Structure 1
Amino acid sequence: MKSTAFHLSSGNAMSSCTIVIPTHNRDDLLIRAVCSALKSCPPDGEVLVVDDKSIVPAGELLSGLNDQRLRVLLNTGMSGAAHSRNFGVASAEGSVIFFLDDDDEMLETYCAEVLSEIACASIEMHWGFSSSIERRGNSTKTDTLRARKRLKRGFVPLSARPKDLVAAMSDGFWIRKRLFLELGGLDPEQTIDEDTDLCLRLLAASKQPWYQGKPGMIVHRGYVPARSEGAQLTVATAALRGLDCYRRTYDKNAGHFGSRSATHWYLATRYLRRAIKHGQAVQARAFLGSIRPIEVRIALRAFVELKLLVHSKRASQNRI
């Protein structure tokens, strides 16, 4: 796979961490993200921007930033956020990888806090994530899932709800480079939900996540991008394609957990819920045919019929 590297300065031979920022046509937002990453990045770390064929090259946009920790790579291989992140990790010099979306910001102390925890931990920390500050217009809130509210920092108990053991790339996600590569990285076939898929593979490998209760990120929502093709991927991706990705996540990972487990229920119901939301009742019912044992299938069938009933009632109310 070929790439073009723009070294905005000489760079370091070794790095404690690499902040990977994939980007595509975010010329109105990228500089903000990169500047926040440089503020958080330690002196021996690096910020690695992977340009996924932007109309205005990221190297041009960032040419005014003279910082030896900053590198820009042009991805000339497969397009997409998952592949761009994989490409960045493969090229990274750091032993710990942080991910940052090109429309978000990393808080200044986040990298140092995580790296300090890793250095001092009596049990090896493999991967983790943080709470985040969510901004939508003039509204700001701190996003803290229920199972984590009383945990300021530490390992998330494996007894927590499955949805509280997984995180998005935008949730201050970090991972040891060696482990990321051992697991094969993110699935480039997944246009969405690649982060959930990776988290499930980590959990199946008995790698417990570390949670930083103090926000590590500012996640921006609801903006209007300067270029329509730069819209947030989860919003812009077609509903049916997204549904296929949820099914792929289920197919790849459900077998690693018991059919009666909370994780299996979580994976099945999130797919079914999305199918019903997007009017795919036939797909939802067809999915049930693959479920074993019979008692789990019966429970999921009841879940589907209840969701269909609720969805139908809401649709009727909206027509009134």
Structure 2
Amino acid sequence: MTVSLKHPSTSPLITIYMPTHNRLDNLKRALLSVQAQSYGNWELIIVNDGSSDGTKAFLDSIQSDQIRVFHNDKAKGACHARNTAIQAAQGEFITGLDDDDEFSPDRLEVLLSSWQPQYSFLCTPVTICKGSTQKEHPFFIGPISIESMLVINKVGNQIFCKTEHLREIGGFDEEFKAWQDYDTWVRFIERFGPGLKLPKSTYLQHESSSVSITRSPNRLKGFYQFLAKHEHLMDQKQRNAMKCWEHIIKGQWVPLRVLASADHAIFKYSFFHNIKRILGR
């Protein structure tokens, strides 16, 4: 596929969906990264999920033909917000952006120019940003099958795909307490086939070292929801991988017998989790 940057009207429209809740400064940074894209034919749909920090007034001031805004009077959750945008999307292709993250300036160009119809979606590695430190995570490059996804989330938190396909699987499951992205990608691959992870990082993921999501109660609830929904697809090796995740999320040792039976993709996560416990980190 050849991408026309000079004549964006002749190239496919790409929808970007972004939920936001009480993070106005981060939202502005994310917005700027979309506006800086080298590929011009995009629409951004921002769903304000009950913010009370001035987000509504700001979003109302920037609405345009290219930036559309929806408001929830009360917070209904990120999945509901994403689904609102997915239903309203007009683009042939769609991808997401969290309000505290950023796109690299060439993200849409890279994704569209790399599109291959034999894959159901594309994704890229992320660059983890902590303060002024940035570190690229070039993991799991190449095809992503349902078998490998049932061991570990090789995608991350965003894909680039046909909008109609994301609608067809019903978008994100609003009942999930956590692991919503993981659940969505598994359902997507199950329905439409393997995806492809490109080698170039085009997504900046900002993280705070002060908050631990791993051991939150919702993380464990989300894990059990995921297991209940998808265990019927798993073989024994994949179930062993889920046992590793359960121990990791609970902040427990991963038993050596479980560690030894784990797929190599989860083995290193489990192994380093145990090392951190030994070191008291």
Q: Same fold (TM over 0.5)?
A: yes
CA distance in 1, matches of 2:48, 2:63: 18
Q: Which of 152, 155, 163 does residue 167 from structure 1 map onto?
A: 155
Which amino acid letter does the alignment assign opposite residue 175 of structure 1? C
- Residue 78 of structure 1: how far off its partner (Å): 6.5
1:204 maps onto 2:190 in alignment: yes
SS at match of 1:51: strand
Contact 2:126 2:201 in 1 (8 A): yes
1:182 maps onto 2:168 in alignment: yes
SS at match of 1:214: coil
- Residue 243 of structure 1: how far off its partner (Å): 0.6
Deviation track 1:178-233 (CA, whole Å, cap 9, x = no partner) reads: 11122121111113210111122223335211212111111111178xxxxxxx8x
SS at match of 1:43: coil
Contact 1:191 1:242 in 2 (8 A): yes
**2:143 maps to which residue?**
155
Q: Which of 233, 236, 240 does residue 217 from structure 2 map onto?
A: 240
CA distance in 2, matches of 1:75, 1:98: 21
- Residue 246 of structure 1: how far off its partner (Å): 0.3
Which amino acid letter does the alignment assign opposite residue 91 of structure 2? G
Deviation track 1:36-86 (CA, whole Å, cap 9, x = no partner) reads: 112227433201101001003534224554753111111357611111111
1:133 maps onto 2:127 in alignment: yes
Q: How big is the alpha-carbon RMSD for the aligned residues of Structure 1 and Structure 2?
A: 3.6
CA distance in 1, matches of 2:199, 2:51: 35
Give unpaired runs (5+ residues) of structure 1.
1-11, 149-153, 225-231, 285-298
**1:251 maps to which residue?**
228
**1:227 maps to which residue?**
none
CA distance in 2, matches of 1:139, 1:301: 32
Contact 1:166 1:199 in 2 (8 A): no
Contact 1:155 1:209 in 2 (8 A): yes
Which amino acid letter does the alignment assign opposite residue 241 of structure 1? N
1:87 maps onto 2:84 in alignment: yes
1:263 maps onto 2:238 in alignment: yes
CA distance in 2, matches of 1:31, 1:253: 37
CA distance in 2, matches of 1:44, 1:25: 28
Distance 1:41 1:34, change over 3 A: farther
Decide which moves more: 39-48 or 15-24.
39-48
Give unpaired runs (5+ residues) of structure 2.
1-8, 262-269
**2:267 maps to which residue?**
none
Distance 1:54 1:177, change over 3 A: same
- Residue 87 of structure 1: how far off its partner (Å): 1.1
Identity of aligned pairs, percent? 21
Contact 1:19 1:41 in 2 (8 A): no
